[in-house]
Amino acid sequence: MAKEINKKVIGASKHFYDGIKFDSKLEIACYQLLKDSKLDFKYNENKYILLDKFRLSNVSFYQAMYKKKKLVGYGEYLTKKGEKQAFTQMTYSPDFVFENDKLLLIIETKGNPNDVYPYKRKIFLDILERDFKHKKVYFFEPRNKKQIIETIKKIKDVLNE
């Protein structure tokens, strides 16, 4: 089993198929099955902002300071210019997305999720719930090839409604 560490699943490797770089063999399997089913999903093209970038202004953020692996105290977390720390955007890019005027279908293949994924998924589902009331939204999370096949069956049912 792959060991999980923030953002990266150790043991997961990138793979190329059809000139596309995939994060896993499960993503390739999903891509192949979607393609064989004539379903027009976009791979890794949509990026959603979960949390916008910001700079601390009111909060003083302190952290442990080390020299040669020895704790030497606590210091305020500042930039090299001595400014309060800025934080980058937190984004989420689902694996496969199909969208039209009435419908948003998302497939996120997950073999071994890392420790951050459940938090990002929760925030993303909240965004979908709040910001996509004008569309019917479906979020699928297959974890193996059998579940991908079942997902495709459900998607075809949804598209034929």
Give the separation between CA 43 and CA 108, rounded to whole angstroms.
Answer: 10
Which residues have C-beta within 8 Å of that of residue 127, sequence separation ≥ 6? Answer: 48, 50
pLDDT digits (tens, 9 = 90+) for 73-109: 888 877 778 888 888 999 999 999 999 999 999 999 9
What mean pLDDT do residues 112-125 have?
92
pLDDT digits (tens, 9 = 90+) for 34-54: 999 999 999 999 999 999 999
Q: Is residue 98 classed as helix, strand or coil in its secondary structure?
A: strand
pLDDT greater than 80 at residue 1: no
pLDDT greater than 60 at residue 2: no
Which residues have C-beta within 8 Å of that of residue 114, sequence separation ≥ 6? Answer: 4, 5, 6, 7, 8, 9
Predicted TM-score (pTM) of the model is: 0.80
Q: Is residue 32 classed as helix, strand or coil in its secondary structure?
A: helix
- Where do the H-state alpha helices sit in the chain? 25-36, 117-131, 145-159
The pLDDT assigned to 10 comes to: 54
Band of residue 3 on the pLDDT scale cut at 50, 70, 90: very low
